[in-house]
């Protein structure tokens, strides 16, 4: 299966690529929309600001290409961190910006008591369900780095939750689209197990 990692200038793609390589899956880093046509599965990583990320996706013709490959052709898709948040209809980071709009919801700043620091940086437990979490012990800790979180309209898409001040959505899944707020590529063996689960999910699709 041809695995594509989308490069839109937002963050450390090398780690995601290295992590998949350690699982025997050589991924291609893709920067142009037409290159997604030959992909069997697509990974959208990324860190940084919501609005800037959408701007970069549009400037590179990737928004349209992603919509075609993931929403119309139903290719298996994994979003990581900002790659989860961009699924929303809207993001409220540095102004209000439209997202990809594939999953009904909005992205809002973590609203926590003053004794908790933002960004939320560190290892937090995830209560996960569904194919991504197969074989992973419940409440395994994964590595998070974020200041914003996805607020889903439909609870059915929520496949993982985590508590930081409040309980927030840390994994979503809808048909061929799965995404996580944390960084599996930075979460040692259980992170790699989750990526292996995505490969299995993609191959069975």
Distances in Å between the alpha carbon of 193 and those of 39, 140, 171, 189? 22, 11, 15, 6
DSSP state of 137: P
User: Looking at 28, 29, 35, 48, which residue binds other proteins (CB under 8 A)?
Assistant: 48
How much helix, strand and coil, in percent to the nearest 5, is found in the chain? 35, 30, 35
- 8-37 residues in contact with other proteins (CB under 8 A) are 11-12, 14-15, 18-19, 22
The span from the first CA to the last CA of the chain, in angstroms, equals: 11
Q: Does the CA dihedral 12-18-23-28 come out positive or negative?
A: positive
Catalytic residue status for 146: no
Residue 185 annotated to the active site? yes
Closer to other proteins at the Cβ: 118 or 134? 118
Nearer to other proteins, 75 or 183 (CB): 183
Query: What string of DSSP letters covers 154-169?
Result: SGGGEEEEEEESEEEE
Q: Which stretch binds other proteins (CB under 8 A): 37-45, 68-76, 126-134, 180-188?
A: 180-188
Measured from the Cβ of residue 15, the count of other Cβ atoms closer than 10 Å reads 14
In the window 96-155, what residues touch other proteins (CB under 8 A)? 114, 117-124, 141, 143-147
| Marked catalytic residue, from 81, 93, 159, 174 | 81
Nearer to other proteins, 177 or 179 (CB): 179
Catalytic center residues: 81, 183, 185
Binding site for other proteins (CB under 8 A): 11-12, 14-15, 18-19, 22, 47-49, 114, 117-124, 141, 143-147, 164, 183, 185-189, 191-192
């Amino acid at each position: 299966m041809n695995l594509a990692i989308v490069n839109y200038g937002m963050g450390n793609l090398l780690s995601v690529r290295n992590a998949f390589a350690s699982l025997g899956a050589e991924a291609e880093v893709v920067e142009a929309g037409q290159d997604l046509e030959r992909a069997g599965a697509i990974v959208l990583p990324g860190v940084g600001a919501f609005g800037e990320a959408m701007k970069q996706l549009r400037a590179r013709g990737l928004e349209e290409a992603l919509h075609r490959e993931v929403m119309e052709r139903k290719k298996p898709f994994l979003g990581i961190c900002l790659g989860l948040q961009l699924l929303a209809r809207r993001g409220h980071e540095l102004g209000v910006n439209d997202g990809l709009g594939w999953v009904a919801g909005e992205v809002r700043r973590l609203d926590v008591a003053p004794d908790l620091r933002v960004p939320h940086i560190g290892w937090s437990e995830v209560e996960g369900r569904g194919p991504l979490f197969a074989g992973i012990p419940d409440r395994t800790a994964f590595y998070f780095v974020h200041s914003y979180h996805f607020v889903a309209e439909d609870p059915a898409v929520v496949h993982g939750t985590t508590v930081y001040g409040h309980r927030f959505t840390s994994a979503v899944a809808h048909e061929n689209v799965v995404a996580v707020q944390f960084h599996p590529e930075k979460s040692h063996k259980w992170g790699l197990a989750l990526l292996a689960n995505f490969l299995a999910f993609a191959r069975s699709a």
